[in-house]
Amino acid sequence: MILTVTPNAAVDLTYRVPRLERHGSHRVTEVTERPGGKGINVARVLAALGHDTVVTGFAGGRTGEQLRALLADAAPEKLLSWPGSVTDALVPVAAGTRRTVAVVDEESGDTTQFNEPGPLITPEEWDGFLGTYRGLLTDTGTDAVALCGSLPPGVPVGAYGTLVREARSAGVPVLLDTSGEPLLRGLAARPDLIKPNAHELAEITGTSEPLRAAHEARRRGPHTVAASLGPDGMLLVTADQVWQAVPPRLDGNPTGAGDSAVAGLLSGLVEGLPWPARLARAVALSAATVRSRVAGEFDQETYAELLPQVEVAERTPTP
């Protein structure tokens, strides 16, 4: 089983409009509701790939109920094409889960995104969550854990450091995918893998050249750095190797592409694949997500078609 943690889970709404006009009034032609937040997206891709997953984090208020209902609706027994499962282990909180609204402009295909602020988590709720998290790490056959996304208000900024250390104590491989100060604090606790994008990497290292920045980030603690570079694919820096994987093409909506990449890396880890195969999977899943009609979903056929087309090459290990 793979555990994913989403402290700032969401209900994701996608609105399609014929053409977005700043300060105009729009009739939405199509509404899609999905369970959202990075770790939940990762779990859904993992389940589609055949892995059983457990999702934890916080759920509160009416939107929290809606999130849980959407997770239950998307259970694989209802969607027969998913060979894996998503089990809800979200921790109830008093404040309401946030919504995100992605407005897709049908004329240009571009997306305008609105993210509500997350719910305020109390110190007692955070402590309660830590207990649940420890139980999930140790009680079940947890093969890996992914810590994903932003922290809602009230959660300590060093939270990911704590969660990485707990995973390492339990002997569970841990991937961290966040940004800014929460990423910096998490790095120092030495996660097995981080997956920043080029912007996040530059933000924490002050270096814009991706290979140098990835090396620099790795020096701060994580065993491996997988940097997602958009159309340039993914760069992987381990203790002694550097790999780059390039997808055949990337056009569409990038929402969720990073989460699909995390699912590709994690599934490859749990299946014991070599690094080049993990990278190829991550990049093909990203590309299949970019080309999907609904923000954050990935297209299985596109994935199967793209996977053999991804080029993975070893690069000179030092910058």
Of the chain, the end-to-end C-alpha distance in Å amounts to: 37
**Least distance in Å: CB of 270 to a copy of itself?**
31
**Least distance in Å: CB of 17 to a copy of itself?**
7
With CB under 8 A as the contact rule, the residue among 32, 68, 116, 140 that binds a copy of itself is 116
With CB under 8 A as the contact rule, the residue among 32, 87, 111, 179 that binds a copy of itself is 111
**Closer to a copy of itself at the Cβ: 70 or 270?**
70
> Which residues ranging from 63 to 92 are in contact with a copy of itself (CB under 8 A)?
65-66, 69
C-alpha of 121 from chain center: 21
Gap between the Cα atoms of 58 and 97, Å rounded: 8
With CB under 8 A as the contact rule, the residue among 92, 114, 249, 274 that binds a copy of itself is 114
With CB under 8 A as the contact rule, the residue among 50, 113, 208, 314 that binds a copy of itself is 113
Which of the residues are catalytic?
A: 259
Other CB atoms within 10 Å distance of the CB of residue 101: 16
Site string for a copy of itself, 14-53 (x = CB under 8 A): -x-x--xxxxxxxxxx-x----------------------
- Measured CA distances, 283 to 212, 228, 261, 288 (Å): 21, 9, 6, 9
Q: Does 107 bind a copy of itself (CB under 8 A)?
A: no
DSSP helix/strand/coil, 102: strand
Q: Which residues contact 11 (CB under 8 A, 6 or more apart)?
A: 33, 34, 35, 36, 63, 66, 67, 70, 97, 98, 99, 100
Q: Does 183 bind a copy of itself (CB under 8 A)?
A: no
Q: Does 117 bind a copy of itself (CB under 8 A)?
A: yes
Neighbouring-strand partners of residue 112? 103
Q: Does 241 bind a copy of itself (CB under 8 A)?
A: no
Q: Does 181 bind a copy of itself (CB under 8 A)?
A: no
Gap between the Cα atoms of 302 and 143, Å rounded: 28
DSSP helix/strand/coil, 179: coil
**Closer to a copy of itself at the Cβ: 13 or 146?**
13
Other CB atoms within 10 Å distance of the CB of residue 123: 10
| Positions that interact with a copy of itself (CB under 8 A) | 13, 15, 17, 20-29, 31, 62, 65-66, 69, 99, 101, 103, 105, 108, 110-117
